[in-house]
Amino acid sequence: MKSSRRSSSFAPVTFFLALIIVALGTIQLVSTFHTYALNLAELNSLRNQEAALVAKKAQLENDIARWDDDAYVTAQARERLGFVFPGERSVRVLHPEVVGGTSAKTNDRSTVSAENNQNLPWYKDMLASFEKADEQTAKSDGQTSASQTDDSDQTGGTGQTGGTTQTK
């Protein structure tokens, strides 16, 4: 009777002990799989980075191979530095739109100046903006002075100014 009492009193303790062991094993297993997933994601990221670096390396090696070609070096010296061969004459066009055939006599100068301003350095772009603002204020000042002249003509030549009333 003593042995049956002992085994029955230890049954809940062994059950809870087994439950704790299973819970700890599950936690350890989940932690292991989580670490595996993180390492797998990092491995894929590193593989993508390696592929990008290999492509960049191939591009740089291609650039180095192009610089070994004398024709490419000559073309780059002409384009970037403006070099010419002896006996040749260098011509630089300051206003390519005149040479290109687009009409400079168009009435819409704002589109032409807007296209030119896109390629200007920041300080010239700022100066062009100031000039454009000055043109707009000059136009509005011209309209204001014309309306004032019309008002003085409407007074009947009496020399009185400000004889008009404004209603809102």
Per-residue pLDDT of 119-133, as tens digits, reads: 767 778 888 888 888
The alpha carbon dihedral of 105, 107, 113, 114 has a sign of negative
Whole-number pLDDT of residue 143: 63
Whats the size of the chain, residue-wise?
168
Per-residue pLDDT of 66-98, as tens digits, reads: 999 999 999 999 888 888 889 988 887 788 787
What predicted TM-score, i.e. pTM, was given to this entire model?
0.39
Query: Which has more confidence, 59 or 92?
Result: 59
Query: Which has more confidence, 110 or 44?
Result: 44
C-alpha to C-alpha distance for 30 and 49, rounded to whole angstroms: 29
| CB-based contacts of 117, cutoff 8 Å, min separation 6 | 125, 128, 129
Whole-number pLDDT of residue 159: 47
Burial class (CB in 10 A: 0-12, 13-18, 19+), 65: exposed
Give the mean pLDDT of 134-145. 72
C-alpha to C-alpha distance for 66 and 69, rounded to whole angstroms: 5
| CB-based contacts of 60, cutoff 8 Å, min separation 6 | none
